[in-house]
Structure 1
Amino acid sequence: MKKIAILFFSLFITTITFSQKSEEAKSLLDEVSKKMGAYKNMNIGFAQTLSNEDAGIKEGDEPPIRGEITLQGEKYNLNYLGNTFIFDGKKLYVINNDEKEISITEGDMGEDDGFIYPSKLLTFYKEGYNFEMGDLKNLQGRKIQFVTLNPIDSNSDIVKVELGIDAKTKHIYKLIQTGSNTSKTTFTITKLKSNQTLPNQFFSLDLAKYKQLKYTID
């Protein structure tokens, strides 16, 4: 009977500790989201790397893919993989300059392909994840507190997400996403500027201009 009581007490303490760590992790994420979301806008430069141990691809085998996104509320202007993505709050415009094509869709990019886009950095964690505090690491002379997010859906294409948060600025520094195919995608924020002065039409597209340039518009 004494052993059962000790086991029950141990499980109870473990549950309480896990709950506290989970609340601590969520509190930190909320603090980061509130701080970064309070900016009038943000210009973020990032580097993306990919690794997959099963396929023999190690991080660093290929040079990083660099991109840049400017966020203002729900709107964004993203340059990534040679394409420009402009979301004006209602429609998404994807400009492929190589093919001289523009595709227009209603609504923002979804996550149907199991990928967290840079435009979702401040909001993706709010639904569908459990949280726990990870390691505190020293990266590039900065103290980075990691938070691990585990999808509630066991069939999710995402197995795990690790968010690295600068302990001093409370800005997101790194996002590491592990997929069900063991691939690991890492986004590292290389620059962050807030409250920039932007042109009035920065989050809109002049279709007439592109028609004159003989772009195909879908």
Structure 2
Amino acid sequence: MQRIIRIITIFIVTLTISAAHAQSSQKAKNLLDQVTDKINSYNNIVFDFKCSVSNSSKNLNQESRGDVSMQGEKYVFNFMGITQIFDGDKIYTIVPEDEEISIESYNKDKINSLTPSKMLTFFNTGYNYAWDIMQNVKGRKIQYVKLTPTDAKNSIKQVLIGVDWQTKHIYNLIQIDKDGTKTTFTLISFKTNQPLSKNHFTFTESKYPNYYINRLD
């Protein structure tokens, strides 16, 4: 999950190149700000996605699908047979294969506390921005923004975020790690302001009578 959600340092030497980069960076940042404003304007969001991970040197090539529903920080996340629920206070990770449930409090100060609710806005801090290419994908204009982590120790080399020029929604993101691993996250469907039940983000322990409950704190 963290590989989907984590994501990139170009140093400019001459004043001419620096000025061009500043304009490119601001243009890219402005587009991502529009994406963030659009995401924050919705009461809730429901989307399906596919995630592919490849690295030829490691003989790695796999693809998985998942779905997320979220409202503010709360979410229900289904991926690779595992369900995770965040009710705004605790995170519940349900693993049917093992009949086990882990329960822990959410700590926003943890570096690895990356949640699906941040999937579409993770880029707001920790990255430098650059304007990249525009592609036509099945009639949709997808504008790419390149991110480079501000922390040189980051294992990520770069991230490309594809933004639908018309809707200002994220279409996909492509993360390339320094070890050559490429992760592509693509939205298959994207719905907003859906009629979710009031208990949609509530974990009900009675639904899992035979599961082992692992309370981590």
Match of 2:101 in 1: 102
Separation in 2, partners of 1:55, 1:43: 34
Identity %: 40
Match of 2:7 in 1: none
Give SS of 1:159's match: strand
Structure 1 residue 139: deviation in Å? 1.5
2:214 is aligned with 1:215 = no
> 1:43-122 maps to which residues of 2 (within 5 A)?
43-57=46-60, 62=62, 64-107=63-106, 112=112, 118-122=116-120
Separation in 1, partners of 2:179, 2:15: 35
Work out whether residues 146 and 158 of structure 2, in 8 Å CA contact, stay in contact via their aligned partners in 1.
yes
Structure 1 residue 13: deviation in Å? 2.1
RMSD: 1.9
Q: How many residues align?
A: 201
Name stretches of at least 5 consecutive residues in structure 2 with no aligned partner: 1-12
Match of 1:38 in 2: 41
Work out whether residues 91 and 108 of structure 1, in 8 Å CA contact, stay in contact via their aligned partners in 2.
no
Tell me: higher relative CO, structure 1 or 2? Use CA pairs within 8 A at least 6 residues apart.
2
**CA deviation map 1:156-181 (0-9, x unaligned):** 12221110000111100001111222
2:186 is aligned with 1:185 = no
Structure 1 residue 209: deviation in Å? 2.7
Separation in 2, partners of 1:73, 1:42: 9
Structure 1 residue 53: deviation in Å? 3.1
Match of 2:128 in 1: 130
Separation in 1, partners of 2:107, 2:124: 17
**CA deviation map 1:51-93 (0-9, x unaligned):** 1132344xxx54x311000111011100001010101111110
Separation in 2, partners of 1:81, 1:54: 24
Separation in 1, partners of 2:138, 2:111: 31
Give SS of 2:14's match: helix
Whose helix proportion is higher, 1 or 2? 1
Give SS of 1:89's match: coil
Separation in 2, partners of 1:122, 1:188: 11
One-letter amino acid of the structure 1 residue matched with residue 210 of structure 2: K
Name stretches of at least 5 consecutive residues in structure 1 with no aligned partner: 1-9
Separation in 2, partners of 1:82, 1:108: 24
Separation in 1, partners of 2:158, 2:88: 29
**CA deviation map 1:24-71 (0-9, x unaligned):** 1011001001102211001010011111132344xxx54x31100011
One-letter amino acid of the structure 2 residue matched with residue 21 of structure 1: S
Give SS of 1:198's match: coil
Work out whether residues 92 and 108 of structure 1, in 8 Å CA contact, stay in contact via their aligned partners in 2.
no
Q: Which has the larger radius of gyration?
A: 1
